[in-house]
Chain A
Amino acid sequence: MGEVANEGGIYTTKVAELYMKRTAMTWNISFPNQDMGTQTDKLLGIQLAFSSDVKTTLITLLLSVGLVATAQTQTTATLSPADKQTADAFEKRVKDYAKLRESVEEQMPKLSKEAKPEEIETHKKQFQERVRAARAGAKHGEIFTPDAQALIRRIIKDEFKGRERAEFRDTVLKEAETKAVPLKVNYPYPEAGELLEMPATLLLRLPQLPKQVRYRFVGRNFLLVDRENGLIVDYMTNALP
C-alpha cells in the first residue's frame, strides 16, 4: 500500500476506499466510531463491493484477497517443526535469564511509579551490579546458539528485501547513534546510545521475548538487552544482510 494523499481532504480516494473494503473483509470488522458510509457498508465490506460497478469491484476483491494473503504471509512467520523447536528453545533460554534477573530485582527496594531521578539512577546502577555479579560467567553465544542465530538471520533477511533492505541498512549502519555500544556480554548498553526502533513487522515474526528483554540492532549486530538495567544479555554478529 502506498501513501494515500487525500485530495481536498475528503475521504474519497479510490485507493482508500479499496483499502477500507479490504480491511473490512479481512479482519471482519465494523466501524463503531467511524462512520464512512451507510450502516450496511460499515458492517459488511462485501455488500459495499456489489453496490455499483460489479466488474470493477470483483477485480478489486480478487486483488484485495491477493494483497491480504501477501500481508499475512509477511507478518506471520510459518515455522517448520525444526525451526519451531529452535525458537522454543531460544525463548526458554531468554526466559531463564528473565527469571534470574527477577530473582535479583526482588531482593532490591522496589522502584516507585513516581520515582525521583536520583532513585531511578541508583536503582539502575545497583541492578546492573547485582545482575553482573549473578551472571559473572555468562558467555557470548549461550542464548544466541548457532541454530538460533541461523533462524533469526533467515527471518531478518526475509523481512527486508530490495529497497527496504537498503533503507534499513542506511538507518542502522549510517544514521544510528550506536557506535559507542560495546559488543560484550554482561556489559551495559551506554545510556547515551540511541535505542533504534525495532521494525514492528519484524518483531511480530521473531521469537517472542519476555517483557524484561529487548532485541536491538547495533550496526550489523543483533543484541538482547535488558530494558531496566541496560545490560547486554547476549549478541550475535552479521545479523543484517
Chain B
Amino acid sequence: MKRIFVSFILAIVFTFSNAYGQSVKLTLPNKDNSVRFVVIGDTGTGTEQQQELANVMLRYRQVFPFEFVLMMGDNMYGSEKAVDYKTKFENIYKPLLNQKIKFYAALGNHDESNQRFYEFFNMEGQEFYRFKKGDVSFYALNSNYMDKKQVDWMNEKLATDTAPWKIAFFHHPPYSSGAAHGSDTKLREIIEPIFLKYGMNVVFTGHEHFYERIKPQKGIYYFISGSGGKLRKGDVKAGSPLTEKAFDRDMSFMLIEINGDQMYFQVVSRTNETVDSGVVVQQRKNGRTTAASGF
C-alpha cells in the first residue's frame, strides 16, 4: 500500500514537473515601458508539437508579459473549414487568447485570402496592413502576391512614416540559408530598394521551417522564425555565408523587446532551451548596423 502511495506521488510530481516545472530563463531586460511581443511562423498544423511550443510560450508569458504575437504566415495548412480555425489555431493558443493577447497575421502560401476577415488575426480585412505600438511601426505584407498595388501602398505609407522603428513581417524570406527553399531573390529585387529607401530596421519572415538570424544585409536585420508548427530538421546549409546563427533541430519562437534604440531578442525551443539571444541597435543612431551581440 505504501509503495503504491509513493508511486502515485512520484507520478504526480513527474507530470507536474513536465508541464510546469521547467523553469523559464529570461535573458531580456523586461523593462516596464518596452514594446514586448512574440514572433512565430508556419504554425497551422494543429499537431501535438505545435501545442507543446504554445505551452512554452504561455510559460514565458508569466514572466515576460508580451502584449501581442506576430504570425509569419502558413497559419493554416490543408483545409480551412471553420473547424480548422479551431483545431489549428484557437484551441492551441486559447490560454493566450483568453489573456487578450492579440495575434497579427501575415499570409503564407498555404493561406486563403479570406483569413484576413478572421477576428483573431486582426488584419482589418486587408492582406497587407500597418499598425503601431509605441515607437514601432509594423508592416504586415503579403509576400505571396507582391503586386503593384501593394508596392504602391508600401511606398505611400513608408514615405510619411516618422516612427523611430520600422519593422516588416511577411512569409517569404529575402535572405535564407534553407536548402529546400533558400533566398527569395525575385521578391528581394522588388522590396529591398524600398526598405533601403525608407530605412526599414528589422524584417521577420517564415516559410523556412527553422530559425535563422541573418548577418545584417545592407544595413537591415533579417530573422527567420518559421518553425512554430512544422520543422525541417537539418535544412540550414552548413557554412552558409548568410548565417549569423541558426537552429534547425527543433521548433522555436522568438521573444522580442524593444526599448529606446535597442531591440532585444530571445529564441526559445519547444524543449524550453534558449537557442539564441542578443540585442540589435537601431541603425539611425549609431550610424551603422552592427552584428547582434549575444548575451
Residues of A bordering B, CB below 8 Å: 3-12, 16, 19-20, 23, 27, 29, 31-37, 71, 75, 111-121, 123-124, 191-192, 194-204, 208-209, 211, 214, 227-228, 230
Contact = CB atoms under 8 A, between A and B. Distances in A.
12 contacts: A5-B241, A6-B291, A33-B199, A34-B284, A113-B125, A114-B119, A115-B119, A117-B85, A191-B79, A192-B78, A195-B110, A228-B113
B111 A117 contact: no
Nearest to A208: B148
Contact of A10 (B115, B123, B164, B289): B289
Contact of A200 (B82, B191, B241): B191
A83 to B, nearest CB: 18
Nearest to B175: A3
Contacts of B201: 33
A20 B117 contact: no
**Size band of the interface chain B makes with A:** 35 or more
Nearest to B84: A117
Interface in B109-157: 109-115, 117-119, 123-125, 143-149, 151
Contacts of B84: 117
A11 B144 contact: no
A20 B144 contact: no
B230 interface: no
Interface stretch (B14-22, B49-57, B215-223): B215-223
A204 B147 contact: yes
Nearest to B197: A29
B190 A201 contact: yes
Interface stretch (B34-42, B61-69, B181-189, B249-257): B181-189
Nearest to A196: B109
A191 B83 CA distance: 13
A112 B117 contact: yes
B114 to A, nearest CB: 5
Interface string B91-107: 00000000000000000
Contact of B216 (A6, A20, A200, A227): A6
B215 A35 contact: no
Given A19-B218, A71-B189, A121-B81, 13 more contacts: A5-B215, A33-B164, A36-B219, A113-B124, A114-B119, A115-B118, A116-B82, A123-B114, A191-B112, A198-B145, A200-B190, A200-B191, A201-B186
Contacts of B198: 32-33
Q: Give the top 6 A-B pairs by smallest Cβ distance, nearest first.
A: A9-B291, A33-B199, A5-B241, A117-B85, A34-B199, A200-B146
B113 A36 contact: no
B215 A6 contact: yes
B117 A3 contact: no
B27 interface: no
A3 B183 CA distance: 9
B270 interface: no
Contacts of B183: 3
Contacts of A117: 81-86, 118
Contact of B149 (A20, A192, A211): A211
A115 B216 contact: no
Contacts of A200: 143, 146-147, 186-187, 189-191
A172 to B, nearest CB: 12
B244 interface: yes
Nearest to A124: B114
Given A11-B218, A11-B288, A195 B283 contact: no
B79 to A, nearest CB: 5
A197 B110 CA distance: 10
Given A34-B219, A192-B78, A202 B197 contact: no
